[in-house]
Amino acid sequence: MPDRRPIIAANWKMHHDHHAAIQFVQKLTYIVEAEVYEGLDVVICPPFTDLRSLQTLIESDQLDLALGAQNCYFEDQGAFTGEVSPPMLAKLKVAYVIVGHSERRQRFGEDDEIVNRKVQAVLRHGMAPIVCVGETLEEREGGRTAETVAGQARAAFAGVTKAQFERCVVAYEPIWAIGTGHNATPEDADGTIGVIRSALRDLYGDLADGARIQYGGSVKPGNVADLMAMPEIDGALVGGASLDPDEFARLLRWGR
Ligand code: 13P
């Protein structure tokens, strides 16, 4: 079984302007002990307007944080008013881009084909997508969780080569667990992540065993240890509990 380095990402969604972002990162890195980062990748995904400020802070202070974006468009440039392109993000040393978050799928009309084009565009520019999949409450209650997440995963990775796949991260985020305070049980999340991994195994064989798959949906300092203890869960994509540096620091110190 390959070693999968845990990865915890803060998805701030539409919170924190660039002043607040700088304060957050300064406080977080002041209070989190250096050892915490030794076995863990920590990614901060702020709004686009914060990226340049955080890039310069991370570089100048040589912080052990990776920068992530929450979205991007799939074209490199052109007449696409309001969009941000992958090369623009790569230029800011963005390492990860969240693609296909359920809020983008549900509120901004992103379908599997758009998600796939974004995954390919992010990879083409040397960054790693954090590819989000997850079922609605209706799909879950209808017994269609496995079919939904496996289908989303297969569609997202269409045309992605084995070499590209090795860089990718997947996040299983059941929609009914996002922002609700009701996380999936560790066993439930682990089982569904197992389903996702086996769909990836169909595409990439043994490489799927090295792919990092996060759980997201009401991850908090109080439940992160039980989630991270599960064999299939390699990290967390954290919304609400990533907004306060003290709370996020507690979460990063799980198991200590
Ligand atoms: P919450 O942690 O607020 O439930 O959000 C999860 C999420 O959507 C992270 O991308």
Please say whether the dihedral angle defined by the alpha carbons of residues 19, 93, 153 and 158, taken in this order, is positive or negative. Answer: positive
pLDDT digits 0-9 by tens, 49-101: 999 999 999 999 999 999 999 999 999 999 999 999 999 999 999 999 999 99
Query: Is 173 an active-site residue?
Result: yes
Question: Mean pLDDT throughout 186-207?
Answer: 98
CA–CA gap between residue 201 and residue 203 (Å, rounded): 5
The span from the CA of 61 to the CA of 50, in Å, is 17
Mean pLDDT of 230-253: 98
- State the pTM of this model: 0.98
Confidence of residue 3 (pLDDT cuts 50, 70, 90): confident
Q: What is the pLDDT, as a whole number, of residue 103?
A: 98
Contact call for residues 87 and 76 (beta carbons, < 8 A): yes
Q: How far is CA 213 from CA 90, 216, 228, in A?
A: 23, 10, 11
Task: Give the pLDDT confidence score for residue 206 in this predicted structure.
Answer: 97
**What's residue 15's pLDDT?**
98
In whole angstroms, give the CA distance from residue 191 to residue 164: 26
Condensed to tens digits (0 to 9), the pLDDT of residues 91-109 reads 999 999 999 999 999 999 9
pLDDT average, residue stretch 145-171: 98
At residue 25 the predicted structure's pLDDT band, cuts being 50, 70 and 90, is: very high
Q: 5-17: per-residue pLDDT in tens? A: 999 999 999 999 9
Q: What is the pLDDT of residue 255?
A: 79
Catalytic residue among 110, 135, 139, 173: 173
Q: Domains in the chain, start-ordered, CATH in brackets?
A: 8-252 (3.20.20.70)
Mean of per-residue pLDDT scores for the chain: 97
Residue 239 Cα to ligand 1 midpoint, Å, equals 4
**List 16, 101, 110, 135, catalytic entry:** 101
Residue 111 has pLDDT above 80, yes or no: yes
Q: Contact, 175 vs 184, CB < 8 A?
A: no
pLDDT tens readout for residues 179-190: 999 989 999 999
From the CA of 181, give the closest atom in ligand 1: 4
CA gap 207, 197 in Å, rounded: 10
pLDDT band at 220 (very low <50, low <70, confident <90, very high): very high
Whether the predicted pLDDT of 33 surpasses 60: yes
Identify the residues whose C-beta falls under 6 Å from ligand 1: 11, 101, 173, 178-179, 216-219, 237-241
Task: Check if 16 is active-site.
Answer: no
pLDDT of residue 85: 98
**Partners of 180 in the β-ladder:** none
* pLDDT greater than 60 at residue 1: no
